[in-house]
Chain A
Amino acid sequence: MFRLQDSKVLAVDMTGDAVKAKNGSMVAYDGEMAFKKLSGGGEGIRGMVTRRITGEQMTVMEVKGHGTCWFADRASEISLVGLQGDTLYVESSNFLAADAGLRTGTSFTGTRGASQGNGLFTTTVEGHGQVAIMSDGPAVVLRVGAQYPLTVDPGAYVAHQGNLRQSFQSGVTFRTLFGEGGGEAFQIRFEGDGLVYVQPSERNTIAGEV
């Protein structure tokens, strides 16, 4: 049972069940808890290999026990996402915790990843349960509809869910080449039906430089 203690602290009430959380993100707990590191993002040998190759390394631990456990990481803002059989795509650096019953994996993102400076792969979480994701500043959730495609700065993108197609847009003109670009040379465009989580801050990306 996930709940937000405040915008920066996640409280999880557990009765013998387990959650996967970012390694070292526990700040306090009561009751009895056991912490165990999971290799390869909790996906076993296959995860160890694919995560090593894809650069989507994620160190997670399994927390199991009875009581309440509080998680926080470097004062990042936390958003809760409920999944009903659909898939959440999130950067491994923005992942905080998930129900242990959810499956995690990696997926290829193509050129979007390269422009974000986060590599060509992203982490996927699917199944039924709750996920906590982190952002630098409170994240806003933007809905994408069939008539309303959304364009996002790669550095501000946090996560997305639903049936979305993403394409990579470049606004590079001759001005960019002369160093007169607006700092918005690359964008990600989402089309379809779903939700996109955007943070009020930009990671350092190649796109921001030009």
Chain B
Amino acid sequence: MAFREINSKMVQATVAPGQRLFSQRGAMLAYQGEVSFTPNLRGGQGGVMSMIGRRVANEDTPLMTVEGSGTVLFGHGGHHVQVVGLAGDTLYVEADRLLAFEGTLEQGTVFLGSQGGVMGMVRGQVSGQGLFTTTLRGHGSVAVMAHGGVFEIPITPQRPVRVDPQAYVAHHGDVRNKLSTAMGWRDMVGRGSGEAFQLELSGSGTVYVQASEEKL
């Protein structure tokens, strides 16, 4: 794994020739060795079309390419960092929560409306995540940021999990998500429990949840 957690808020990445990393621009704290940081105008992998796609989808967090040989420390804004390892599966994460990821991973953008139709679009609006989300697929590891610590909840077909949209960080595996509402007359008259919208995740995989209801 290219990333090693130094403490709960910092990761150390090892770069070797021929192994590229992408990281959020400005997230480098320190480095050793011969390492170069180039701003990535296209905001990640792919050609100009991918760039336009990300711009349109508002998933175009400024990224930089990290190359060379040495070690680099990453951290951002005092947020907690969680390293997620991927072995051929897909991680769904918001672009602004991405701290760094290995170049071996294939980056993409998905339309949430294609997962759960209209409710998928509503979900993006409710959770303040927009209508699109970033996907990373392949073999490698990703460093994801969250406010407060992150904990994992396994999802199994018999055991769907419902998450507060504001506390949702990322998920991976073969998971379907839909927004469920538990709205009743109480919410209409201003007596709601503050849990009117929930993100329902079913299938098999893992969901990452943060210990806070604050967006980054």
Contacts and interface: CB of A to CB of B under 8 A. Distances in A.
Contacts of B207: 28
Q: Is the interface of A mostly helix, strand, loop or mixed?
A: strand
Q: Which of A27, A35, A59, A73 has the most CB of B within 10 A?
A: A27
Interface residues of A, number: 27
Main secondary structure of the interface of B (DSSP, over half): loop
Given A6-B151, A9-B151, A72-B148, A23 B210 contact: no
Interface residues of B, number: 26
Nearest to B158: A30
A30 B167 contact: no
B79 to A, nearest CB: 10
Contacts of B123: none
Given A6-B149, A28-B164, A75-B147, A37 B192 contact: yes
B160 A75 contact: no
Contact of A37 (B161, B193, B214): B193
A20 B70 CA distance: 52
A168 interface: no
A5 B151 contact: yes
Contact of B148 (A26, A28, A75): A75
Contacts of A33: 162
Contacts of A6: 149, 151, 211
Nearest to A32: B162
B182 A28 contact: no
B149 A8 contact: yes
Nearest to B162: A29
Contacts of B48: none
Contact of B195 (A39, A61, A73): A61
Interface of A: 5-9, 23-31, 33-37, 39, 59, 61, 70, 72-75
28 contacts: A5-B151, A8-B149, A9-B149, A9-B211, A24-B193, A24-B194, A24-B195, A26-B164, A26-B195, A27-B163, A27-B164, A27-B211, A28-B167, A30-B153, A31-B159, A33-B162, A35-B193, A36-B186, A36-B193, A39-B191, A59-B194, A61-B195, A70-B209, A72-B148, A72-B213, A73-B212, A75-B147, A75-B149
